[in-house]
Chains A and B, each alone.
Chain A
Amino acid sequence: MAAITMLEGIRQAIFEEMDRDPAVVALGEDIGVYGGAFKVTEGLLARFGPERVIDAPISETGIVGAACGMGYLGLRPIVEMQFIDFIACCFNQVTNFVAKSHYRWGAPVPMVLRGPSGGGVHGGPFHSANPEMYFMHTPGLKIIYPSTAYDAKGLLKSAVRDNNPVLFFEHKYLYRRIKEEIPAEEYTVPIGKAVVRREGKDLTILSYAAMVYTSLEAAETLVKEGIDAEVIDLRTLLPLDRDAILASVKKTNKLLVVHEDTRTGGIAGEIAALVCEGAFEDLDGPIARVTALDTPTPYSPPLEERFLPNAEKVAAAARDLAKY
C-alpha cells in the first residue's frame, strides 16, 4: 500500500467513519463545497450530501452548540475548526456546556472537535496556536494530539466512537510533510496510550505532535555523543498515560519534556508534578523542559524560529541533563 500523509490519514478516518455509521455527520466552515481550508474534507460533500456535511456560517459557538444538541439525539458529529485558534470563540460552549454535560446531568456528548493547530508555518499569532492547555484544565474533555499518519487515522476513528467530547488537534506542519504506509485493513488506535518512538537508556524525552520529530532529531545527534535518549510520544494528552511516563522515568531516571506550547502553564509543569508524585525517588536529575517562549506566536520567520523549540535547543537541554 502506498504511503499516505497525515492529512490523508485524517481524511480516510472521516470517510470511513461516515461510511460505517450514518449517525456520523460533519459540521464546519467551508468544509463542504470547498472541502475545507486545508482540504481535509475534500470530496466529503460529494459522497455524503448536504444533510451529513454541513457548511455552517462563521459561528464557532453556534456550530459547537449545534453539534452538542445533535449528540444528545444520538448523532456523532465531527466539527472542524478552520484553524484551532478559533476554538477560543466557542470556549464557553466547549468548557461549560459540552465538557460538564455528562458529569452534571448524565448526558454524554459524543463529539469530535478537530482542527489544524501548531506553528512553524509562519501563521502568526492567530493561526499557529497550541491551545491544548486551556482544555487540559477542563474535566470532561479528552485531548488527542497525534504525530503520525497511522496514529492520526486510528485515533480519530477511536475519537468518533468515543462517548465523550474529544478535542483532536492536527499539527498543520505535519499535514503534508510526513508520509507513512498504513495497513489496508481497518484499525483503531486506543485513546490514552503513549508510545515509545525510540528506545534509550540515559534519559527520557517526552513529547507529542511536531515536537516528536524535533526530539527524535535531537536524539540522533545525542547518540553520536554517547547519550542514548528514549523518546516517548504522548499521543493523548487527556487522559495522560501516567503509567507509560512513570515506567520510562523509572528506566532512565531523567526526564526532559519538550512541547511547542508556551512555557508557563504548559503540560511540562503537569508532567513534572506527576513524576514527582509517582517517581521522585527514581530521579537522578531535575526535570527539564524545552518549550516555546512565553509570548504570542510571532509572524516573521526569524522571530518564529526564536519562539519555537528546535533540535539544537532540545539537544542542549538533554546534554545538561545527562551530566547529572
Chain B
Amino acid sequence: MHVANSEKEKAVATAKLRRGQYLDLYYYMQLNRQLEDRMVRLFRQNKIVGGLYSSLGQEAVSVGTAYALEPKDWLAPMIRNIGALLVKGFKPRDIFTQHMAKYTSPTLGKDGTSHFGDLKVHHTVSPISMLGDLIPVMTGVAMAGRYLGQNIVALTWIGDGGSSTGAFHEGLNLAASQRAPFVLVVENNQWAYSTPVARQVPIKNLADRAVAYGITSKITDGNDVVAVYTTTKEAVDECRAGRGPVLIEVKTHRMKGHAQHDPAEYVPKDMFEYWKARDPIALYEKFLTENKIWDAKTKSEIDARIERELDEDQKFAEESPLPPPELAEQGVYCDGCHTIEADWQRSKKELTPPNCSVDAVWEVKSFGSLDPDAAAEMKAAAEVKQSQPGRGNGTPPAPAKLAPKAPQKAFAKPAAKTPAEEKISVEAAAALRVPFGRGPKDRAFREERAEKEKHRRGKRGRH
C-alpha cells in the first residue's frame, strides 16, 4: 500500500515547483520558526496567557502539507501546525494575539493557541483539544464539498498519540466508506506527551493502519519539506480525482517537550542529537544552495522580510487591548449574526426530486460468504441439482446470489439435548442464579414486594 518516494518520483514532482514556490516553502518554514521563537520569549515575559506548544523541528510537516492545497481546499490544524495556518493565509498577528488572549485575535480572546479558524476566506476549521475529533469533522467538510460540487479536498493532521482515539477510527472509517476527498496526515513525532510510539502501538508504521480502512497510504520523511509537499500533492490529486481518502504518515520528531513547562527529560539525548542533525530548515537551506535556487542575498532578503513582518505584528499584538469583560456573555448562540449559505457549484436541480429519486435498495455485490468462491460453488451446485433427472417439478432454481452457503463446521449447531438434559440444565441454571444488588436485604425486599403486590391486586380488584 505504501508509495515510497523514490528518487525518480521526487525529481518529477520537484520539477513542477517554480523558483518562487521553493522560496515560499523556505519563507513559511522560517516564519513559523521565528514566530515561535519570539513566542517563547513572550512566554518567558509572562505575556502568553496560557500554554505554549512548540513545533520546532516539525515545520516542514505543517508547511509542506498545507502548501499542497489550493485556496479553495479546507484544512484544520492541530496545536503544532502553526506553519499550516501561515500558508493558508493567516498572519503572524493572528497567532500572537491568540496566544496573548487579545481582543484583536481571531477569536476575540475566547480561545487561545491555534484554536481558531475561518469559514469564509481561509477555509480553516478550528481544532479542539480532544484529539481525533477533527477527523470526522473534516470528513464531513469533504463530503459537503463534494455534495456542493466544489471539487475540494479536506486535510487535517493527527499525532501518533491521537491515532489511538476512537474518533480516529470512526472518522477514518466513515471517510473511507464514503470515499471522501480527505487527506489525513499522521504526524508521527515519536512522542505522545511523554509516551513513545512503541508504548502506544505495536506496529512500526502508523501508515499500516490504512490497510484496515481499505485506503491508500504513503510514508514520507517529515523533515524533508519537498518530500512532504510532493507526497501530499499526490494525495491531494488522488482525492480530487475521486480516489480518496489517503493517509500519509510523516516521520519526524518533536524537538521540545509537550509544552513550555515540559523539559522532555524522558527523550534520550541520542535521539535529540539524531534528529537535530536532520533539522528541516537547515536541510532545506542546503538543498536550495546546492540546487542553486537561491543565493546568500535572497536568503537575507527573505530573513529580513520575516523580521520586519514579525516586528510589526508582535508590536500590534502587544499593543492590542484585552477583551472587554462583557464579551464573555456574548455569542453562545448565532442569533442571525451569521448568514449560512452554501456555495453551490452544481445545479440544485440534480439534488431535487424527482431528479435525485432512486429505488431504495442496496446494491449488494457479495453475499458475505466466508470464502470468495462460495458464490460460484453455490451456483454450480444449483445447476447440478437442476440438471438431475426426476427433480424437475417446475419450480425455477433459486437465484444463485440468494442461495445461502452451507454453514461451516465452526458455525454448526450443537447436538440437540434430550428433554431430560434440557430440564437438568434449566434447573441447574436456576440454582446458580444469584439475586443481585440487594445483598442481605433481599429477603426483606421480597417480603415487601409481596405485600405491595397483594395490596395492589386487592385495590385493582384482581385475584
Contacts and interface: CB of A to CB of B under 8 A. Distances in A.
B334 interface: yes
Contacts of A101: 126
Interface stretch (A63-71, A125-133, A272-280): A63-71
Contact of B332 (A71, A110, A140): A140
Contacts of A69: 125, 136-144, 154
A8 to B, nearest CB: 19
A185 interface: no
A59 interface: yes
Interface string A39-62: 000010111111110101101111
B130 interface: yes
A46 B357 contact: yes
Nearest to A110: B340
Nearest to B110: A104
Interface stretch (B61-69, B313-321, B345-353): B345-353
B288 interface: no
B343 A164 contact: no
B18 interface: no
B368 to A, nearest CB: 16
Most chain B beta carbons < 10 A, residue from A54, A71, A74: A74
A106 interface: yes
Contacts of A106: 107, 331, 337-338
A59 B174 contact: yes
A74 B340 contact: yes
Contact of B126 (A43, A52, A105, A163): A105
B356 A49 contact: yes
Interface residues of B, number: 61
B140 A70 contact: yes
Interface string A230-272: 0000000000000000000000000000000000000000000
B110 A61 contact: no
Interface in B164-202: 166-167, 170-171, 173-174, 177-178
A223 to B, nearest CB: 23
Interface in B45-88: none
Main secondary structure of the interface of B (DSSP, over half): loop
A73 B332 CA distance: 20
B106 to A, nearest CB: 7
Given A57-B173, A105-B107, A106-B338, A64 B331 contact: no
A67 B139 CA distance: 9
Interface stretch (B7-15, B112-120, B264-272, B386-394): B112-120
B436 interface: no
A22 B341 CA distance: 11
A108 B339 CA distance: 9
A48 B351 CA distance: 7
Most chain B beta carbons < 10 A, residue from A60, A61, A63, A139: A61
A74 B358 contact: no
Interface in A115-149: 139-140, 142
B331 A102 contact: yes
A100 interface: yes
Most chain B beta carbons < 10 A, residue from A32, A33, A62, A75: A62
Contact of B140 (A67, A96, A105): A67
A18 to B, nearest CB: 9
Most chain B beta carbons < 10 A, residue from A19, A69, A97, A107: A69
Given A103-B332, A108-B334, A65 B115 contact: no
B148 interface: yes
Contact of B334 (A23, A139, A163): A163
A62 B136 contact: yes
A51 B356 contact: yes
A62 B182 CA distance: 14
Interface string A73-101: 11111000000000000001100110011
B333 A102 contact: yes
A31 B106 CA distance: 39
Contacts of B357: 46-49
B39 interface: no
A93 to B, nearest CB: 6
Interface stretch (B255-263, B359-367, B400-408): B359-367
A97 B137 contact: yes
A227 B242 CA distance: 68
Contacts of B178: 54
B143 A93 contact: no
Contacts of B170: 57, 59-62, 65
Nearest to A75: B144
A105 B110 contact: yes
Contact of A22 (B166, B340, B351): B351
B55 to A, nearest CB: 21
Contacts of A103: 110, 331-332
B342 A73 contact: yes
A7 interface: no
A45 B357 CA distance: 7
Nearest to B333: A164
A70 B79 CA distance: 23
B162 to A, nearest CB: 13
A107 B173 contact: no
A260 B125 CA distance: 38
A292 B336 CA distance: 38
B171 A61 contact: yes
A65 to B, nearest CB: 3
A22 B351 CA distance: 6
Contacts of B359: 46
B213 to A, nearest CB: 11
B145 interface: yes
Contacts of A142: 333
Contacts of A64: 136
A32 B363 CA distance: 13
A107 B119 contact: yes
A46 to B, nearest CB: 4
A55 to B, nearest CB: 9
B333 A140 contact: yes
Given A65-B140, A102-B332, A57 B343 contact: no
B445 interface: no
A139 B334 CA distance: 12
A228 to B, nearest CB: 27
5 contacts: A25-B147, A57-B174, A66-B171, A73-B342, A96-B129
Per CB-CB distance, the 9 closest pairs between chain A and chain B, nearest first, are: A69-B140, A65-B136, A74-B342, A66-B140, A62-B170, A49-B356, A73-B144, A59-B170, A108-B334
Given A65-B134, A69-B140, A105-B126, 11 more contacts: A45-B360, A51-B351, A52-B351, A56-B174, A56-B177, A61-B170, A65-B171, A69-B144, A73-B343, A103-B331, A107-B125
Interface of B: 106-107, 110-111, 115-117, 119, 125-126, 128-130, 133-145, 147-148, 150, 154, 166-167, 170-171, 173-174, 177-178, 331-338, 340-343, 348, 351-353, 356-362
